[in-house]
A and B are shown apart, each in its own frame.
Chain A
């Protein structure tokens, strides 16, 4: 009984420490920038350091540029305030719109600023199981590590997906009137890589 209590206390202390350090590290950067993996070197505990790096990455993952197309429902969101997409489009069977209203009808190969329309050759919604809308960073972390909810990816695959995928990269060049995701895609990729190599520990929500 005593040992069980001791374990619980240790877990509680570890969680609190992680949370405090994560908050500390995240507070070192503004909302528009990303801290480098090296800047987390002051956190001695490897697990806490890993979790703190994901918390920093969470600034990207919870940004409207990402969440708008990782919606909880079947309709994408848009703009910095994350309002429901107008016209009222839906994901459709393949995440690329309904037969009569495909994403590509309006979303061309590149941003079209005169029409205020963002674009990319592969424009589509993230699958329903990859919904991030309304979730805390820790929940997104657990989800992003789960092959059943991340498109069958290993953690290592996320380095390429977040760090190099050009559709993800659109988030840093979103066109007129849209705030880019914090930092750069390269910096986000570096954080993912460091997070994966440090054990891919999820922060406490």
Chain B
């Protein structure tokens, strides 16, 4: 058993004892009931299970949860799909996903949403040239698998959010 204390979507959980062989995905879904984070391939290859990990320096990255022990998240702050909306108001990216009909079955959406959000926050800190935007989005979303093949719609949704506020995201 290992002690786990974690901040999820700004709320502190634990310290609590977790099994060493418990995955982060099971901790979120089975222990906390946060089922927005999906379990897909179980091998970190589809990234439907990805969550956002916030570093102390203010930067973020996504991490799969299906193959990673919950204990390895001790002391970390993460965000899940449940944490994007504020006071019932969807985030710009969530709205763009809906506007573009980006998802059908929705199983991969949480992962795409988290990855897209990390990209937006990264671009807000280090904007890119318009000419590099398509490649930047494609590289960011690369690795996320959509069984319904909604790739271009996710791509366009992310692009629309960025182009709606070019002074923030582009140079």
Contact = CB atoms under 8 A, between A and B. Distances in A.
Interface of A: 86-88, 99-102, 105-106, 108-109, 112-117
27 contacts: A87-B143, A88-B142, A88-B143, A100-B62, A100-B140, A102-B61, A105-B63, A106-B44, A106-B63, A106-B67, A109-B72, A112-B21, A112-B67, A112-B68, A112-B69, A113-B21, A114-B22, A114-B69, A115-B23, A115-B42, A115-B44, A115-B67, A115-B69, A116-B67, A117-B44, A117-B67, A117-B68
B16 interface: no
B120 interface: no
Contacts of A100: 61-62, 118, 140
Contact of B45 (A86, A101, A114): A86
B64 A106 contact: yes
B72 A108 contact: yes
A152 B21 CA distance: 39
- 4 pairs of A and B residues whose beta carbons are closest in the complex: A115-B67, A114-B21, A117-B67, A108-B72
A99 B67 CA distance: 20
A157 to B, nearest CB: 32
B68 A101 contact: no
Contacts of A87: 44-45, 47, 143
B66 interface: yes
A101 B143 contact: yes
Contacts, number: 51
Contacts of A105: 53, 61, 63-64, 68
Given A108-B69, A112-B72, 20 more contacts: A86-B43, A86-B45, A87-B44, A87-B143, A88-B142, A100-B118, A100-B140, A101-B143, A106-B63, A106-B67, A108-B68, A112-B21, A112-B68, A113-B21, A115-B23, A115-B44, A115-B67, A115-B69, A117-B67, A117-B68
Contacts of A88: 142-143
Interface in B60-99: 61-64, 66-69, 72
A116 B68 CA distance: 9
A76 B83 CA distance: 34
Contacts of B47: 87
Contacts of B44: 87, 106, 115, 117
A99 B57 CA distance: 14
B85 to A, nearest CB: 24
A86 B66 CA distance: 14
Contacts of B68: 105-106, 108, 112, 115, 117
A33 B170 CA distance: 58
B145 to A, nearest CB: 10
Nearest to B19: A114
Contacts of A114: 21-23, 69
Contacts of B22: 114
Contacts of B72: 108-109, 112
A135 B44 CA distance: 30
